[in-house]
């Protein structure tokens, strides 16, 4: 196990900067998720760790040693690919044992070790099968077994669960989580699924347009998103963002917006700084912090109902404030709401997030 460090790493493809001046540090035994939308540079970052891409500039360190221009085979890393990359002409035993074969292990040794790992992953009884003769979930575990069969410094995962169906993905996710905590391995995991990142990571690096927007623990990212981008990416459904107009009145911050009724919030220096440059602020409230209330209540937002989706234990109630500005609440309710009914959703002041005109978080009192 080892740490990984990026020192102002940039990767350009022609004029396009896939990764731009990225700095970060992955501690020994950490499970870090690189999270972001397609094209944000997360996979490129992972491939640079693996040595499958070479940075245009910057340095990459694994376990304190510089590996920036080292060939993948000399880095002592393991990687699980999105398409599993199982060799169709080899049976499972040979597939899993392949990294040991290229290391010159004898057949008996390497097949024994492959069997051990396969047993842990519950595919030990399939060792004679070809990859085409097993299911998708089993293929996924075979590729995992091939990565685990030899001791690597860092384990890299490139969206390993994205080809599985929803139920299997949940199962595999739980297993990976257990495995990583059990082995204490250093793992870097690329995903665009925020739920996967939240469930697995000890720290999440949220990436956008080649840059790391926020690098923090899942709970920190959930509770204190650094920008509106992070707020909008993490959470299911994501945080509601409402454009508001802020003014200072009587030592309090007064927020005004369509359908919004709010008591004044305590002023802070940070809010004052934000207001000094622009009165346009963004108010953020998570769907799970909203509840149904009577019309005109304080700290509430009202608009006609757009949709009411019953998910079983809860409902997603969405109201439409006009021009596509919608607010969604996760509510435990059996109420019969009708489209176009006026609906009010209330929240408490402690669950309010504020972002300035540039989309940057304004720290709340006590942060």
Length of the chain: 367
CA gyration radius for the chain? 24
Task: Candidates 16, 64, 71, 334: give the one binding other proteins (CB under 8 A).
Answer: 71
Select 119 or 243, whichever has its Cβ closest to other proteins. Answer: 119
SS3 for 53?
coil
In the list 8, 37, 65, 83, the residue contacting other proteins (rule: CB under 8 A) is 83
Does 103 contact other proteins by CB under 8 A?
Answer: yes
C-beta of 34 vs 164, nearer to other proteins = 164
How many CB atoms lie under 10 A from the CB of residue 196? Answer: 24
28-67 residues near other proteins, rule: CB under 8 A: 50-52
* Distance in Å, CB of 154 to other proteins, minimum: 11
Q: Which stretch binds other proteins (CB under 8 A): 113-121, 128-136, 339-347, 356-364?
A: 128-136
Among residues 9, 32, 77, 200, the one that binds other proteins under rule CB under 8 A: 77
133 binds other proteins (CB under 8 A): yes
Binding status of residue 136 toward other proteins by CB under 8 A: yes
Task: Pick one of 137, 210, 218, 235: the residue that binds other proteins (CB under 8 A).
Answer: 137
Which residues lie closer than 8 Å to 315 by C-beta, 6 or more apart?
308, 309, 330, 331, 332, 333
Give the nearest distance from C-beta 74 to other proteins in angstroms.
Answer: 8
**Nearest-angstrom CA–CA distance, 263 and 347:** 11
Candidates 17-25, 93-101, 194-202, 218-226: pick the segment binding other proteins (CB under 8 A). Answer: 93-101
Closest CA to 158 of 233, 25, 49, 68: 49
- Shortest Cβ distance from residue 52 to other proteins (Å)? 5
- DSSP-assigned beta bridge partners for residue 242: 283
Give the nearest distance from C-beta 176 to other proteins in angstroms.
15
Cis peptide before 9 (omega within 30 of 0): no
The H-assigned helical ranges of the chain are 42-50, 92-102, 107-120, 136-148, 166-183, 194-200, 218-223, 228-233, 269-277
Give burial (CB, 10 Å; 0-12/13-18/19+) of 237: middle
**Where does this chain bind other proteins (CB under 8 A)?**
50-52, 71-73, 75-79, 81-83, 85, 87-89, 98-99, 101-103, 122, 132-138, 146, 150, 156, 165, 168
């Amino acid at each position: 196990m080892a740490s990984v460090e990026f020192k102002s790493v940039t990767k350009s493809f022609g004029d396009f900067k896939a990764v731009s001046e990225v700095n970060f540090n992955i501690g020994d035994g950490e499970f870090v998720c690189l999270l972001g939308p397609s094209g944000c540079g997360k996979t490129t970052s992972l491939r640079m760790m693996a040595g499958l891409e070479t940075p245009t500039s910057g340095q990459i360190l694994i376990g304190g040693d510089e590996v920036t221009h080292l060939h993948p085979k000399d880095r002592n890393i393991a990687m699980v690919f999105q398409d599993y990359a199982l060799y169709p002409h080899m049976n499972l035993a040979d597939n899993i044992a392949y990294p040991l074969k290229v290391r010159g292990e004898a057949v008996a040794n390497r097949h024994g070790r492959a069997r051990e790992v396969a047993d842990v992953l519950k595919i030990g009884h399939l060792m004679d099968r070809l990859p085409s003769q097993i299911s998708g979930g089993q293929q996924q575990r075979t590729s995992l077994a091939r990565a685990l069969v030899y001791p690597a410094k860092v384990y890299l995962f490139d969206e390993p669960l994205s080809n599985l169906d929803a139920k299997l993905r949940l199962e595999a996710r739980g297993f990976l989580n257990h495995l990583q905590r059990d082995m204490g391995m250093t793992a870097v995991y690329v995903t665009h699924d925020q739920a996967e990142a939240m469930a697995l990571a000890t720290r999440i690096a949220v990436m956008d347009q080649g840059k790391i927007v926020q690098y923090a623990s899942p709970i920190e990212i959930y509770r204190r998103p650094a920008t509106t981008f992070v707020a909008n990416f993490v959470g299911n459904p994501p945080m509601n963002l409402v454009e508001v107009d802020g003014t200072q009145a009587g030592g309090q911050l007064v927020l005004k917006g369509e359908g919004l009724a709010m008591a004044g919030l305590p002023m802070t220096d940070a809010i004052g700084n934000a207001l000094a440059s622009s009165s346009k602020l963004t108010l953020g409230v998570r769907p799970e912090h909203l509840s149904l209330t009577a019309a005109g209540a304080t700290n509430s937002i009202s608009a006609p109902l757009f949709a009411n989706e019953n998910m079983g234990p809860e409902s997603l109630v969405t109201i439409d404030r006009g021009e596509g500005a919608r607010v969604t609440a996760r509510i435990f309710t059996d109420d019969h709401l009708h489209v176009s009914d006026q609906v009010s959703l209330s929240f408490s002041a402690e669950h309010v997030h504020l972002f300035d005109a540039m989309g940057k978080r304004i720290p709340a009192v006590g942060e």
